[in-house]
Amino acid sequence: MSGAIGYFVHHQGRGHAERAAAIVNALPADRPVMLFSARDDIFPPLAAHVAVTRIPSLFEAPDDAPAALAEAATPATLHCAPLGWASITRAVATIATWFADAGPALFVTDVSAELAQLARIASVPCVAVLQHGDRSDPGHMAAYESALGILAPYHPLLEQPGRPDWMRAKMHHAPGVGVHPAVTDRDAARAALNLPLDRDIVLVVAGGGGDGTPATPLTLGARAQPDTLWLTIGAVAHEWHATVPGNLRHLGWVDDPASYIAAADRVVSSAGNTTVHMIAAAGRPWIVVPEWRYFDEQRWKARMLAQAGAAVTLDHWPSHVDAWRDAWTRAAAIDTAKQHMLVDPHAAQGVADWFERLAAWQRPAPRAAAPNLLAEMIS
């Protein structure tokens, strides 16, 4: 056995790839790692001991998907398991072949309930990444039961209620893993981004996993604060009836969102995992509006942020000016120290050390000393 670690990385959004890269780069240089993903261009720079294998998407229908099998019922223990997709067959075959050839010490799935179960069936110890949300369904629970360990990429203070004791016993919390909490001076960030030093700035951070933040509610917030510069980064969904005021600028995708967060006085965001931890690392008056996600992932994360006193969370976007004013009043009272504690700058190394302990089962057992037969005969 090689002692290799395999790692499946979902290609939607940015958080899966960023935390995977941070973790595998922190592993020892003599620990080979193979990343499996439907995209190979989503990763930050990777260490020399890390390689990437591109596999077909497990979630997007190929052109040759058979219509005759499209209505086949999915078992309760699975989530995305359509029949007749040759692309999924190839992806599973690639991973299973690597299992057989590499003899891995560990396989990590971020995230696929099906691949966690595949690893267990293949007799490969697995780590399942746990996200917020209503995940007590048979498919998720089968993955967590199959796993040797469960990685929770957030602070224990954000742990939602209802996790059974056997799950908690397997869990390793990694607050903000993949996020670099280096604090940048506000004025230095503004100078680097060519933003005014003497103006109040609100930053709206849209995540990368959905269609984008709706622009219309932002026009209401910006119009009510004409002396404040409102900036958006990420995907924004525009509607024909929204009239954009002059103090609202849509910047789209940017290379360094952390610098924009550092430059802001106040922040509005979705509740994506990377987004949440980048803002918590900076510490700002903060309004969170969760986006729709499977299993209510962002709604649960937003609830736990509110419970921890780290953010003001809204069920939906403000539809009038007074709703914005009320939210900002509450956000001004947030203790940013409660945000900073949600991010551990050493989280990636902590996960890597935990992986090493889980992979230690593959070390050869020490040989017992050979019996001294001559001594036994003499005695």
Distance between CA atoms of residues 144 and 135, nearest Å: 10
pLDDT at 276: 96
Buried/exposed code over 251-283 (b: 16+ C-beta within 10 A; e: otherwise): eeeeeebbbbbbbbebbbbbbbbbbbbbbbbbb
Q: CA triplet 282, 271, 115: central angle to 5 degrees? A: 115
Which of 93-107, 199-213, 310-324 is predicted least confidently?
A: 199-213
Average pLDDT value for the chain: 93
Distance between CA atoms of residues 53 and 116, nearest Å: 18
Q: Which pLDDT tens digit goes with each residue over 107-131? A: 999 999 999 999 999 999 999 999 9
Average pLDDT over residues 220-238: 96
Among all chains, which residue has been given the structure tokens 């078992």? 75
Q: Which band of pLDDT confidence, cut at 50, 70 and 90, is reported for residue 241?
A: confident
Q: Is the pLDDT of residue 92 over 80?
A: yes
DSSP state of 285: -
Which of 111-120, 181-190, 279-288, 330-339 is predicted least confidently?
A: 181-190
**CA 296 and chain centroid, separation:** 15
Distance between CA atoms of residues 56 and 43, nearest Å: 17
pTM of the model: 0.92
Q: Name residues whose C-beta falls within 8 Å of residue 45's C-beta, 6 or more positions apart in sequence.
A: 21
pLDDT at 240: 84
Among all chains, which residue has been given the structure tokens 């954009």? 244
Q: Is the pLDDT of residue 87 over 70?
A: yes
Q: Which pLDDT tens digit goes with each residue over 37-66? A: 999 999 999 999 999 999 999 999 999 999
Distance between CA atoms of residues 140 and 247, nearest Å: 45
Distance between CA atoms of residues 34 and 53, nearest Å: 7
Q: Name residues whose C-beta falls within 8 Å of residue 43's C-beta, 6 or more positions apart in sequence.
A: 9, 17, 20, 21, 35, 37, 52
Cα atoms in the 13 Å half-sphere on the side-chain side of 345: 7
Distance between CA atoms of residues 253 and 36, nearest Å: 25
Q: Which band of pLDDT confidence, cut at 50, 70 and 90, is reported for residue 2?
A: low
Q: Is the pLDDT of residue 376 over 70?
A: no
Q: Name residues whose C-beta falls within 8 Å of residue 72's C-beta, 6 or more positions apart in sequence.
A: 82, 83
Average pLDDT over residues 330-356: 97
Q: CA triplet 11, 153, 268: central angle to 5 degrees? A: 80
